[in-house]
Structure 1
Amino acid sequence: MSDIIHDPDLQNKARRATEILSENLHFVANEPSLAFYRIQEHVRKSVPPMIEKRIQVQKLQKDLQGHYYDVEYALGAVNSIKNSEKSLNNIQEQLKSALFLSQQIKYEHTRRNNTKKDSMYKRLSAHLTTTLDLPELPEAIRDTANRVESMMQSARHSNIY
């Protein structure tokens, strides 16, 4: 048995095994404090970036909520425009009617002004031509009435301008 103890290779292996065993016992004995150290180290490294990301996510959530309200408001506006189609068509029809009536009023006004511009000589010549049955006379009366009318108009224009 003394041969086994004096074997240097065996002694190295035994010493090494006892060192490993001692190291493992030391590790197992100190494992909870090492675990807490590792946890503390992990928290110290990872929590600040996580807090920063959380703040960014909250800001993005707030911005997204604002955009959501904007889109909801715009959608409501579009729907109200769709609902106002009947009113807009009614307004369009009333505008068409108003334009038509305006054109009629302008036409009547122009027609009345044209009738007022006809001189009494033209009206007289028209009246005489219908009442008299002289074939040469109506042409002569019209010609005279036209001359008198043109003289009256040139006199009016020279007084106006």
Structure 2
Amino acid sequence: MTTLQHDHELDAKVKKATERISENMHIVANEPSLAFYRLQEHVRKALPPMVDKRVEVSKVHHELQGHCYDVEYAISAVKSMENADRTFTDIQDLFRNAIFLKQQLKYEESRRNKKEPISVYKRLSAHITLDLPDLPELSDALRETANKVESMMHQARNTSQPAETSTP
């Protein structure tokens, strides 16, 4: 009986061992497919949000490049404005020279004190006004310049007429 009992015990141990071996073989055989299933499941869940984020990052990158170009353009505009300082200084000097020359012309004309007939140009220039807040003397300068040009034309006519009459 001991052999029978021993066989029973041995059969139970062998059966238990073979079940464990079979279970382990089943796990080992199915583990790669289970791993691929888990990977596929992860990709299906994680890929769409990742693609959306990638598209969004690409869009933001293009917008950022546009803003960088705008900033570079603005910087170059500001730097070119720094170089304009000399131009504005030159313009200011030219205005000073023009005002000085106008004052000289006004002084020369006041010295002459000639009575000239009022022409259409003088009447027209008397009505011309410019509203320049920083240069109130500019409209007077324009009027004086028009007067000077007209008086020079009048003198030119007077000096050219005797020469024309002396020639047959």
TM-score under structure 2 length normalisation? 0.51
Match in the other structure for 1:79: 79
Q: How does 1:119-138 map to 2 (within 5 A)?
A: none
For these two proteins, the number of residue pairs brought into alignment is 111
Q: Which runs of 4+ in 1 moved over 6 A?
A: 3-7
- Mapped to 1, the partners of 2:24 and 2:97 lie a distance apart of 102
RMSD: 3.7
Distance 1:81 1:112 in 2: 43
Question: How far did 1:33 drift?
Answer: 1.0
More helix per residue: 1
For the residues of structure 2 that align with 1:65 and 1:23, how far apart are their CA atoms? 60
**Partner Cα separation in structure 1 for residue 45 and residue 77 of structure 2:** 50
Structure 1 segments unaligned to the other structure (5+ residues): 117-161
Q: Deviations over 1:111-135 (max 9, x none)?
A: 939x78xxxxxxxxxxxxxxxxxxx
Does residue 91 (structure 1) correspond to residue 99 (structure 2)? The answer is no
Question: Which is higher, the Rg of structure 1 or of structure 2?
Answer: 1
> After superposition, what is the alpha-carbon deviation per residue over 1:52-80, rounded to whole angstroms, capped at 9, x for unaligned?
00110010011001001101111111122
Structure 2 distance, partners of 1:38, 1:24, is: 20
Matches of 2:33 and 2:82, distance apart in 1: 70
Q: Partner of 1:49 in structure 2?
A: 49
Deviation at 1:92, TM superposition (A): 1.7
Q: In structure 2, how many angstroms separate the alpha carbons of the residues matched to 1:23 and 1:96? A: 106
Q: Which residue identity lines up with residue 27 of structure 1 in the other structure?
A: I
Structure 2 distance, partners of 1:105, 1:44, is 90
1:28–1:112 distance in 2 versus 1, CA, 3 Å: same
Aligned to 1:145: none
Q: Percent identity?
A: 49
Q: Scaled by the length of structure 1, what TM-score is found?
A: 0.53
